[in-house]
Structures are given as structure tokens and as C-alpha cells.
A and B are shown apart, each in its own frame.
Chain A
Amino acid sequence: MTNCEIIRESIGSWLDGELSPGESDSVRAHVAGCGACDEVRRQLEKLQMVLKDELAGEAARIEFMPFWREVQQRINQKRPWHQELRDWCRDFFTAPRIAWSVPAVIALVLALFSLDSYVPGWRFGGARNNFAAVDSIDAYGRSVALLRENESKTTVIWLYQDQEGENEAAEDATKSGPAF
């Protein structure tokens, strides 16, 4: 977009007094030095004048009292809660508040992911996966049982002392082993 196109888009707002003082000064300075943009300004001002005259003439013929009565009635009328909630939601979720929800959602997601560090055992409301993964095991000739207990998410490595030459008493104690 050229500078003139940008300025022309702002001329209407400038004439309506909707621009900030800085932006107004910028538009004013440009229009003063640019014949084409000044022509756009003159046409817009002329259009505004025509519309104002036309509307003022029409307004004199309009009966406003019934309109104001209706407005008054609507102001005094108590709205149902669901309508108020709907309006509140609409106001809340439209810009500019929606823009703040972006960092707010990021913060919430970060908090959820880091909650496990502060509250051990918590993970999105479910039990934490405490299962251990056994990469390798060497029991030097003994028998080994590997148990994964679902309820407590526990991994158990159980050694059986069934090698020759082991202490008999010890063997008795462990031969039966745990009844997994």
C-alpha cells in the first residue's frame, strides 16, 4: 500500500475525530501537502454535509417518543440469567480479551505439565507410570522372575537362590518365593 492509500483509509476516521492526536497530526500534514488526498477529504466532508442536512430534515418528521419509551422499557426490564451469561461470554471471548487468553492458555498448559514436579504421583488425574523398564539382567546362573504389578505400577525383580551349594536354610526360605 502506498502512503496515500493508507492516509485515505484514515481520512474518514480523522474527520470523525476517532484518531489519536499523533495520527491526526500525521494525516493533517499529509493532506495539506497532497492535492489528491485533499480532494478525497473535500469529497468526504461534502458527503457528510449532505447526509447531515438530509438526516436533520428527516429527523424533524420522526416521532421519537415511542422509540424512547421502548428503550426505557428495555433498560428497566430484568433479563433472564442465561441471556446475561450469553452476553458476558460474548464480551469476554471477543477481542481484545481473547488476545490475553493466548498467554493465559500457554501458562495453564505449562502449569499442567510442571505440576507433576511439585505434586509427585499426579499426572492429569491418573496414576503415574511407575513401571521400570529392565534393559538387562544377569543373575549369574540364578533364576530370576520379573513381575509387573498393575495396581501399584511396580516392577519387581525376584532372585531365586536355586544354585548348587546354596545354604539349605536359605533355600527353604526362598524356594517357595512370593506367590506372584
Chain B
Amino acid sequence: MKLPKMRRSLVLLSSLLLVSFAGWCGAAEKSPQSVQVTIRSILAANKSDEFDPKLKGMEQQLKSLKYRSYRSLKDESKTVPWQGTQSFEIPGGRTLTVSPQEFQDNRIALKVRLTEHDKPIVDTTVKIANKGNFILGGPPHEGGALVLSISATAP
């Protein structure tokens, strides 16, 4: 059975519009203007069994570190332009400098530098999933260890 010409054109037009819309969405995803970077500072220790309710969403991630207690110290979010740099004050006189490098395959490349009183502790470049995070931990703090959850979201 043949489709009437008018209906055939309508179907073709709808398909074309959908494909164009998909292309536009794909292009839009590839060129976000900036990145929302969130740093969550957490104190991991073995002095008690306290688990801060504010960290509930990260419970599974933190449990892999095998400490007994986890307490949220500070949360900070900043918008950082691509290739730009933002500094986050971290408890213990430390500073975390984050610079988003590129956005590819829904993953964000971040250049991260942790310093303590202007002395560099670590420099790393990490690719994380958009809206994902990674954990940087280890520096001693208040009898425990400082754990930083570094997440990034490209809108």
C-alpha cells in the first residue's frame, strides 16, 4: 500500500526535524561554557563510629576507605570556565586549585593541584564522568585523614 504524497512528506519532514534536533542537542552537549566544580571536605577518622548524615549520598564510596567515622567539614561549589582556574580553601591551611581542561564523550578532564601553605602536595590530571566525582585523600587532619570529594558538572 502506498502512502499518500502529503502524508509521506509529513513523515519525512518529522524524521528530518527529529534528526536535526538530535544533532543540535549533540552540538549543544559538546560546547558547555563552564563547569560547576564542587569540593566536599570530609574528615575520616577511627576515634568513633559517627557517620555524618550529610554524607549519606556518599556512604558507599566512603566505606571503601575503611575508616570508622566520617564527618563533613566543608562544601564549596564554584563555576569555573574552561581552561580557567579556581581555588578552594581546604581545612588545614590547604588550597585546592582546579582547572577544567576539556569535555569529551561526556567526560570532563580536570587539572587538580593541592597545596599546603604554598607547598605543593599533589598535581594530577583526571578525567571524570559528567556529574561524577573522584576522591583525593590522605593528608593528615585533626588526628584523622582529610578526604576530598571532587565533582564536576558541565550543564
The A interface, classified by DSSP as helix, strand, loop or mixed, is mixed
In the complex, are the beta carbons of B64 and A158 less than 8 A apart? no
> Cβ of B127: which chain A residues have Cβ within 8 Å of it?
132-133, 135
In the complex, are the beta carbons of A179 and B66 less than 8 A apart? yes
A-B contact count (CB 8 A): 149
* Interface hits, B90-110 → A, CB 8 Å: 106-107, 109
Q: Count how many chain B residues have C-beta atoms less than 8 Å from C-beta atoms of the other chain.
A: 49
> Cβ of B51: which chain A residues have Cβ within 8 Å of it?
none
Query: Which one, A96, A116, A173, contacts B140 given CB within 8 A?
Result: A173
A96/B3 contact (C-beta < 8 A), A135-B127, A152-B61, A180-B66 known: yes
- Residues 110-130 of chain A: 1 if any B CB is under 8 Å from the residue's CB, otherwise 0? 100010110010000000111
Q: What's the minimum C-beta distance from A176 to chain B, rounded to whole angstroms?
A: 8
Query: Which one, B7, B22, B61, B126, contacts A99 given CB within 8 A?
Result: B7
A103 to B10, CA, bound (A): 10
Q: Is B73 engaged at the interface, CB distance under 8 Å to the other chain?
A: no
Query: Which one, B15, B60, B144, contacts A102 given CB within 8 A?
Result: B15
A129/B129 contact (C-beta < 8 A), A103-B15, A154-B134, A156-B65 known: yes
A114/B25 contact (C-beta < 8 A), A135-B109, A138-B122 known: yes
Q: What's the minimum C-beta distance from A13 to chain B, rounded to whole angstroms?
A: 12
- Residues 1-18 of chain B: 1 if any A CB is under 8 Å from the residue's CB, otherwise 0? 111100110010011001
Query: Which one, B3, B136, B140, B144, contacts A157 given CB within 8 A?
Result: B136
In the complex, are the beta carbons of B138 and A174 less than 8 A apart? yes
A120/B131 contact (C-beta < 8 A), A149-B61, A159-B139, A173-B140 known: yes
> Cβ of B44: which chain A residues have Cβ within 8 Å of it?
178
When C-beta atoms are compared, the residue in chain A nearest to B108 turns out to be A132
In the complex, are the beta carbons of A100 and B11 less than 8 A apart? yes
In the complex, are the beta carbons of A132 and B134 less than 8 A apart? yes
Q: Which stretch from A31-39, A46-54, A69-77, A139-147 is at the chain B interface?
A: A139-147
Q: Is A3 engaged at the interface, CB distance under 8 Å to the other chain?
A: no
> Cβ of B60: which chain A residues have Cβ within 8 Å of it?
151-152, 154
In the complex, are the beta carbons of A139 and B122 less than 8 A apart? yes
A157/B11 contact (C-beta < 8 A), A95-B1, A130-B129, A135-B126 known: no
In the complex, are the beta carbons of B8 and A99 less than 8 A apart? yes
A159 to B137, CA, bound (A): 6
> Cβ of B128: which chain A residues have Cβ within 8 Å of it?
130, 132, 155
B-to-A contact residues, CB < 8 Å: 1-4, 7-8, 11, 14-15, 18-19, 21-22, 25, 29, 44-45, 60-61, 64-67, 106-107, 109, 120-129, 131-140, 143-145
